[in-house]
Amino acid sequence: MESIRIKTSQRIPLPFLTDRVAAGFPSPATDHEEKDLDLNEHLIEHPSSTFFIRVEGDSMEGAAILDNDILIVDRSITPTHGSIVVAVVHGEITVKRLFRENKRIELHAENPQYAPIDVSYDAGFKIWGVVSGVVRKT
């Protein structure tokens, strides 16, 4: 089964040297070369529970989540009040901030144009995963 999944083996090597290379004599830095920086490792703590989801729209602009961004969603994180979550409301998948107070559960956009969604009594409401990062190409 061919696939491009989140692979720890597909690393982009960016050698990171702690010291400048001095010309003229052997660099003492070569003894201190540290391991390559790996963006996957930095962004993804639990590969098996992490999924990428594409953002559509501007409802989370205030949280610096823009249209077409890629969300890093880690399902192993337990959602709490204030988490940015991917949730299912009426069969639709949405990204919002979770607001939880006593028995009241709401999903808040980070854009004044969108009203909060009260999901306290919505049987179909489900949290899909917690957003742990955002990736954007400029």
Contact positions vs other proteins (CB under 8 A) = 1-5, 46-49, 51-57, 59, 70-71, 75-76, 86, 88, 91-95, 124, 126, 128
Say which amino acid occupies 28.
P
DSSP codes, 101-119: ETTEEEEE-SSTTS--EE-
Catalytic residue among 59, 103, 132, 137: 59
Cα torsion 75, 76, 80, 84: sign: negative
Nearer to other proteins, 49 or 120 (CB): 49
Query: What is the rounded distance in angstroms from the CA atom of residue 27 to the CA atom of residue 64?
Result: 43
Cα–Cα distance measured from residue 108 to residue 121, given in angstroms and rounded to the nearest whole number: 16
Q: How far is the CB of 42 from other proteins (least distance, A)?
A: 19
Q: 49, 96, 120, 126: which is the annotated catalytic residue?
A: 96
- Length reported for the chain: 138
Which residue number, 55 or 98, has a Cβ lying nearer to other proteins?
Answer: 55
Tell me whether residue 8 or residue 30 sits nearer to other proteins (CB atom).
8
Question: Could you tell me the smallest distance in angstroms from the CB atom of residue 92 to other proteins?
Answer: 7
As annotated, the active-site residues are 59, 96
